A and B are shown apart, each in its own frame.
Chain A
């Protein structure tokens, strides 16, 4: 319990500060009200519905506002035939969304928890991902966006904490996007909704209320398949996404006290991923550490590690480190032991430097 409160307060202070950003996007920051993640997402959905009369938001319980309040007020504003509840059936939600998208609509489907996305796996992998290719580009379901809360929440256990991104990263034809903060979430979600490819948008549920940041009220998009260097450094490159970045940033701050200069990259889009940015960074630093909550074996860190080893082998000073979840189902009481914590990351940074 004490650990949880410490974590809460630490994260809260991190998000009040906000993240550093690259110069190009800097002008978008620091304007607008301070809002949290679910409000930023709500703004994005509202803009999507406003700017395209053929956009729809649907899923379990979205009408009253959703279990995380991301869809609050949308049904009142846009009507219950555009923002509506579906029966409790993920394969139906995604299948229905594919059909809706195939007719040129923007189908924004919500899966209540990423832990429950698996009944829709067939529709996502066999249908959505292949819809354009198999039809010779006569048909496509690019208007489909599936949004779903993912990741540890402190007490979620097996079925309210999963990070299933790796399953989808293995499927050509899909895009997988993970925002780290409210400002990022609004821009990336709008980009996903308007991107002409089926996209899965994983929202770090831990940050729904906790993360607070200034978010411009206007309509803006952030680029997909473009990683962002959110902290510059010269000794080691760290790559992550979503909620894990704040943990990694803390490790970078602590490492700096020991004279280690860390470069931190938010991948943002997992597939197709921005190899060029990561490669350029590793060519500079000579070291790479990847961190994610999902179990280490077969996690997306493995793809990044293998690709960078191929591209930067001669430049690497040490093996690529992966600090990830354990190869177990996500535990309840043992969550603090399971998670890739700041100190695990810090230890690995030092070990890599001392290799």
Chain B
């Protein structure tokens, strides 16, 4: 039974002061609710209860308990001490203001007046820009290759080049990357070659994944980039385990794990953030909020103020950044890395951006969003152009550099595709290896049986897989 205590005999006085404390001592008391219109703000719903006393004796007893009237009374419960409040109030479902978004360059690539940030030097800026252009070009050409039927599938990162390259720039090669699938730019930055990308997309015998997965499922042990899998958000709790390992081994390194707005609805997202906070794991949770999960806009994905607000719910320090501002992303990740390692804690970064491309080659996004919207982001809010403006403004990049870069990258890509297309596929034996560290007896039998079948019916099998 709820017990309400009155702090003053003068009920009217207290109503004016918007306190609604009541004492209920016996069943004969009547009560009703009323709303004090002055007390209710636009965002909150406070309800005051009023009770009429039938006896004054109890009232006096209560009064003496609170004579010293310490308003800052504290309660002790498992989980710590909390201040009590006599006012019943619900935290609003929406904050008064959305969390602000950190940006450093305006839409024209000009530094915002009041921003202060460690700038990247010329060498770094040029590498960043070159890789953003390379990623952009690679996406265009591989997408085309799929359309021509040369590879079976592709997914672009168009619109997210700043997220890819700038976040990679802020890390060291010793930081472990646990990706979703739209972060091939991070791999590019670390040194994965055009040829290696092409080999994986064609699933040829030079693919270090041995032709087992769909295109864009890259992985590189050498570059500390965990192999991509199509499953959504499963990598998040794994990233926490990876981070815990770095922590226990006392490495001067952290983990970064990427996911989209859609991925935050998966249970694994909540599991991962909670574990990371409890276990003090040095992991950067990087959310690419690009507005779309295939055809599902964020309005159908969650009702919170994006993803950044969820960090505090788990006890994780968080920031929202403009994902199309390469310098802002660079700064945020740099700072996050420093905090993650020196304080041994997780950090959540929500990068707002826009998925300019379709979800993948199996998708036509004009079916669920307007072509105008896509064009707007492609022409006006595009991150590569914006960064180029900044680099040019610094005098570090010319039009000649631009055309030279684009044509050489294009040539290199087309060559890589041509080479990859002509490399033979991995041998049949690779179907059976790596299921376990050594094949068990049932797999030996199955391989034997399969080879007999192939001899009898060779026409059933692709000729470019060596048996």
Contact = CB atoms under 8 A, between A and B. Distances in A.
Interface residues of A, number: 48
Contact of A135 (B227, B274, B436): B227
25 contacts: A54-B248, A86-B275, A89-B274, A91-B267, A92-B237, A92-B268, A92-B272, A92-B275, A95-B271, A96-B244, A99-B245, A102-B242, A103-B246, A123-B237, A126-B229, A126-B234, A133-B435, A134-B209, A134-B212, A134-B213, A136-B212, A137-B433, A138-B227, A172-B435, A175-B436
B210 A136 contact: yes
Contacts of B242: 99-100, 102-103
A136 B243 CA distance: 23
A163 to B, nearest CB: 22
A135 B272 CA distance: 22
Contact of A139 (B227, B236, B278): B227
Interface in A73-128: 81-82, 84, 86-87, 89, 91-92, 94-105, 107, 119, 122-123, 126-127
Given A134-B213, A136-B207, A87 B275 contact: yes
A134 B210 CA distance: 8
Closest 9 CB pairs of A and B: A99-B241, A95-B237, A92-B271, A272-B440, A99-B238, A103-B245, A100-B241, A135-B227, A136-B210
A272 B241 contact: no
Contact of B231 (A126, A139, A196, A276): A126
A130 B227 CA distance: 11
A133 B426 CA distance: 14
B301 interface: no
Nearest to A98: B238
Given A92-B240, A173-B435, A175-B436, 6 more contacts: A84-B279, A102-B241, A122-B231, A127-B231, A136-B210, A140-B437
Give the one of A94, A126, A138 with max B CB within 10 A.
A138
A134 B214 CA distance: 10
B219 A95 contact: no
B146 interface: no
Contact of A92 (B212, B229, B231, B274): B274
Given A100-B244, A103-B241, A95 B209 contact: no
Nearest to B439: A272
A96 B275 CA distance: 8
Nearest to A274: B441
Given A92-B237, A276-B441, A133 B434 contact: yes
B220 interface: yes
B219 A127 contact: no
Contacts of B437: 132, 140, 142, 196-197
Contacts of B367: none
A130 B434 CA distance: 9
A275 interface: yes
A51 to B, nearest CB: 17
B226 interface: yes
A352 interface: no
A135 B437 CA distance: 13
B328 interface: no
Interface residues of B, number: 46
A91 B237 contact: yes
B229 A127 contact: yes
A135 B237 contact: no
A42 interface: no
A105 B241 CA distance: 10
A134 B268 contact: no
A225 interface: yes
Interface in B272-322: 272, 274-275, 278-279
Contacts of B168: none
Nearest to B244: A100
B245 A91 contact: no
A301 B249 CA distance: 44
Contacts of A100: 241-242, 244-245
Interface string B423-463: 00000000001111100111000000000000000000000
B441 A96 contact: no
B201 interface: no
Interface of B: 176, 178, 207-210, 212-213, 217, 219-221, 226-227, 229, 231, 234, 236-246, 248-249, 267-268, 271-272, 274-275, 278-279, 433-437, 440-442
Contacts of B217: 134
A150 B394 CA distance: 66
Contacts of A105: 245, 248
Given A123-B237, A134-B209, A272-B441, A139 B221 contact: yes
A275 B445 CA distance: 12
Interface in A183-203: 196-197
A98 B241 contact: yes
B234 A272 contact: no
Nearest to A172: B435
A175 B441 CA distance: 13
Contacts of A142: 437
A175 B246 CA distance: 27
Nearest to A129: B435
Nearest to B228: A134
Contact of B441 (A98, A119, A135, A275): A275
A225 B241 contact: no
A46 B274 CA distance: 28
| Max chain A Cβ within 10 angstroms of own Cβ: one of B208, B210, B231, B271 | B271
Contacts of A134: 209, 212-213, 217, 227, 229
Q: Which of A54, A99, A272 has the most CB of B within 10 A?
A: A99
B240 A135 contact: no
Given A99-B245, A102-B226, A138 B221 contact: yes
Interface string A156-190: 00000000000000001101000000000000000
B248 A96 contact: no
A210 B232 CA distance: 44
Nearest to A100: B241
A260 B225 CA distance: 61
A81 B278 CA distance: 12
A109 to B, nearest CB: 10
Contacts of A119: 267
Contacts of B268: 91-92, 95, 123
Given A92-B275, A95-B268, A196-B437, A138 B208 contact: yes
